[in-house]
Structures are given as structure tokens and as C-alpha cells.
Amino acid sequence: MSEPSPDPETENERDIELMLQVQATSDHQVFRELIERHQSVVIGTIAKMLGRASEAEDIAQQVFLRLWKARHRYQPNAKFTTYLFTITRNLVFNETRRRSRRKESSLDQQQDEYQLEPPTQARHQPDQQQLNAELREAIDQAIEALPEKQRMAVVLRRYQNLPYEEIAAVLDLSVSAVKSQLFRARHTLRESLERYLDS
């Protein structure tokens, strides 16, 4: 028999209790418990935002390092996850902008390297398996191509199941603005994935 899912309110109270303890004592073991409670969610969010799981762990480490450094300024005015996702948002948006600048400067070089590569032989996969893999990749690429606030709203809503109110707090928007961001994102994603939806 499966265990009942934890109560979000109780979980939030525990997070705040741990963070206030970290603030008061700078106890690394207590902070380790906070990391263990949220590490997978932070890594998953970053991976979806950036489209690359390989870099997600490094940026997640930066998130928790920033949380540690900010422990003396922490105020339990909102849900702990709101505070944590706000730090995550800032680091992800910084990384997105850094990548964008790097991509512009290295685009010509990438094109030259691509032209020099010999053609690779196509792997033989079952049609359905290949289609599923293509669809997953297309969804990830479509999400990655969204403007950063729309992308963050989609990831927090679709993959982390956050309520509109918490997404609004993380993105520093009104609830109606979050709903508008999600509406525009869904419309763009439908257009991007049209050929898969039709088939």
C-alpha cells in the first residue's frame, strides 16, 4: 500500500523551521537536510529550463550556495519553496543570458564545425520508439525556445505543479500576468509541435 503524500503546509513549516535553524546556528548538517529535501526538484527545474541535464547539477549547487550565503537575511514571509525558486530563477535567467551572448559569438564557428563533420549513419530504431524520442526532444526544444518568464511559468506549473499564486511570487508578477504568460506559452508550444499533434 502506498504512503499518503505529505501535506504541503506541514512540509513548508518543516522547511521554514530548518532554514531558521540554519540562520541561527549555521549548522551544516541541518542545511544538508534542506538540500536533500529540495535537491531533485531544483535540479529538475534547471534541467527543464536550460534543456541540458548535464549542467543542472552545477547550477543547483550554486542555488544552494547562494541560499547558504543569504541565510542571515532570510525572512519567512512566504513559502520556503517560493524563496528557493526565486534564487533558482535568478541563476537560470543569468545563465540563459550568458548562453545567448556566447551563442551569438560562436555561431559562425559552430556552422564551420558542422560542415566539417562526416555524415553519420542513421540508427535503426522501431518507428514508435523513434517518434517518442523525437517528440520528447521537440517538446524540450520548444520549451527552451520560449521567452524566459514563459518558460519558467511552464516548468513550474507543468513539471513542479506549483499553484498560480506561488509562480506569481517567484516571477514577481500578478496571478493574471502568470495566466497570460502560460496562455501565450501554450499557444506557442502548440504551434511549435503542430506536426506531432496532427500525426
Task: Mark whether 131 and 100 lie in a shared domain.
Answer: no
Task: Mark whether 76 and 134 lie in a shared domain.
Answer: no
Task: Mark whether 100 and 132 lie in a shared domain.
Answer: no
Grid cell listed for 2: 502506498
φ and ψ at residue 149, rounded to 5 degrees: -70, -40
Instruction: Tell me if 115 is assigned to some domain.
Output: no
Range of the domain at 155: 127-199
Task: Mark whether 68 and 133 lie in a shared domain.
Answer: no
Q: pLDDT digit string (tens) for 33-65?
A: 999 999 999 999 999 998 777 889 999 999 999
Q: Please state, for a pLDDT cut of 90, what percent of the chain lies above it.
A: 62
Task: Mark whether 11 and 98 lie in a shared domain.
Answer: yes
Instruction: Tell me if 46 is assigned to some domain.
Output: yes
How far from 139 is each of 2, 62, 142, CA to CA, in Å? 31, 27, 5
Task: Mark whether 195 and 133 lie in a shared domain.
Answer: yes
* pTM of this prediction exceeds 0.85: no
Instruction: Tell me if 181 is assigned to some domain.
Output: yes
- Cα 81 from chain centroid (whole Å): 13
Report the CATH number at residue 141. 1.10.10.10
